[in-house]
Structure 1
Amino acid sequence: MPPTFPTPKLVIFDCDGVLVDSERLTSQVLVDNLAAHGLRLSVEQAMAQFVGGTMAGVMQKARAMGADLPSDWVDEIYVETYARLAQGVPLVSGIPELLARLDQAQIPCCVASNGSEEKMRITLGQNGLWERFHPQAMFSAHALGVAKPEPGLFLAAASHFGVQARDCLVIEDSASGVTAALRAGMRCLAYAPHGDGARLAELGGELVRDMAEVPARLSI
């Protein structure tokens, strides 16, 4: 049995891979693009290398791996990614039910993402969540100028809601996100529906395989 914790006063969701099931879609776009620039990777390799990072960071890492990327590559990949996401991206299984439970328990929640608000408008807007979170409960690295693995996004969210870091719970699916949560002094559930999640657990995340597990972890 996992240890019991007090019910959090704020739940902070990552967006991609936590609220919306978008990571594999965006990774396929990245794989196809990088292949055209001389770097061939599988989707699994791309996810292992790049999930949770910023596109500027992806660009730097891909160049170090041999990709011949133009100076405007970030703009290029955003156009391709947004076009693919606009074709349709589903919510992560169990998210509607989890949000309903949080509402029932009167626990506020928000989104903190390394992605842009434009990207979240596309993915969350398809699923009725843009209106729920924007603008009062949405924190983007693009807008705030600080990205995971730094803790600033999460600390900004806690400050906005007037909640101490120790009373927040973060739900993340990437190493950079888990690292940011722990650096912020926040408890972190590491959502790992595929693979063993060992890296996330090593960093201090509490593994969950299904969003249906989360209410019990929050004591709601």
Structure 2
Amino acid sequence: MTRPDLVIFDCDGVLVDSETVSNVVLAENLTRHGFPMTAERSMALFVGGTIRGVGDTAREMGARLPDDWVDEIYSEIYAALRAGVDVIAGIPELLDRLDAAGIPYAVGSNGSEEKMEITLGQTGLKPRFGSAIFSAHTLKTAKPEPGLYLAAAAHFGVDPARAVVVEDSATGATAAARAGMRCLGYAPHDDGARLAAVGAEIFDSMFAVPGLIGLGQAAE
């Protein structure tokens, strides 16, 4: 397997285990607004999208949300995330392997920079990415459009075809495909069918990534 010239990570659910926390809060909020929701269904419906898109979808499905709902839910989610999130197992070791191989890496997320400051900041991951953190809120382009990933490639002067994306949502995998990038689809809890359907190569442990990108297998 040829080594890539750049590895781009999604943030939530890939670098940090924030999806579960966020969707518990989201489910409780929507239920409180008269739109019954479980965290599991919220994950199935909304992972990979934007909060504004979540609100639009919920309204289309019959939810009656206040005009300031986006601000409300961000406030609730950020408060929950500040209480603590875990780093996905194997990520520190994977970043160490990339550093040793001289392969740069970046973050491309539909989440806000404020959210990544909370999640990546408290886990110590943020300094490892330096300025290579790309937010849909800042760039005004969100997955499934390829702009975030193309911006990351341009930042490093890398041909998109020489970049690898690590994603956990079909939305993100679609963005990678549209950017002309190979996508590794992280699916630790299911068979990854939705990721595979849009061209992602499925794996279930970050310790497997070095072997998938030509760096040899990492020890767990």
Query: What TM-score, normalized to structure 2?
Result: 0.96
In the alignment, the residues of structure 1 paired with residue 180 and residue 8 of structure 2 have an alpha-carbon distance, to the nearest angstrom, of 13
Q: 1:53-132 alignment to 2 at 5 Å?
A: 53-132=49-128
Corresponding residue of 1:158: 153
Task: Identify which of 183, 186, 189 aligns with 1:191.
Answer: 186
Corresponding residue of 1:7: 3
Q: Is the 8 A contact 2:28 2:38 kept in 1?
A: no
In the alignment, the residues of structure 2 paired with residue 40 and residue 8 of structure 1 have an alpha-carbon distance, to the nearest angstrom, of 44
Query: Aligned pair 1:179/2:174, yes or no?
Result: yes
In the alignment, the residues of structure 2 paired with residue 170 and residue 56 of structure 1 have an alpha-carbon distance, to the nearest angstrom, of 24
**Percent identity of the aligned residues?**
62
User: Any idea what the Cα deviations from partners look like across 1:77-115, whole Å, max 9, x if unmatched?
Assistant: 000000000000000011010000000101000000000
Task: Please give the secondary structure, in 1, of the residue aligned with 2:107.
Answer: strand
Task: Please give the secondary structure, in 2, of the residue aligned with 1:170.
Answer: strand
In the alignment, the residues of structure 2 paired with residue 120 and residue 132 of structure 1 have an alpha-carbon distance, to the nearest angstrom, of 13
Task: Please give the secondary structure, in 2, of the residue aligned with 1:126.
Answer: helix
Query: Aligned pair 1:22/2:18, yes or no?
Result: yes
Q: Is the 8 A contact 1:38 1:66 kept in 2?
A: no
Query: Aligned pair 1:137/2:132, yes or no?
Result: yes
The letter for the 2-side match of 1:82 is: Y
5+ residue gaps, structure 1, are none
User: Any idea what the Cα deviations from partners look like across 1:31-76, whole Å, max 9, x if unmatched?
Assistant: 0000011111221110010001001100000111121101110000
In the alignment, the residues of structure 2 paired with residue 185 and residue 71 of structure 1 have an alpha-carbon distance, to the nearest angstrom, of 38
5+ residue gaps, structure 2, are 216-220
Task: Please give the secondary structure, in 1, of the residue aligned with 2:202.
Answer: strand
Query: What TM-score, normalized to structure 1?
Result: 0.96
Deviation at 1:132, TM superposition (A): 2.0
Q: Is the 8 A contact 1:112 1:138 kept in 2?
A: yes
- The runs of at least 4 consecutive aligned structure 1 residues that moved more than 2 Å come to none
RMSD: 0.7
In the alignment, the residues of structure 2 paired with residue 64 and residue 36 of structure 1 have an alpha-carbon distance, to the nearest angstrom, of 17
In the alignment, the residues of structure 2 paired with residue 73 and residue 42 of structure 1 have an alpha-carbon distance, to the nearest angstrom, of 18
Corresponding pairs, count = 215
Deviation at 1:14, TM superposition (A): 0.3
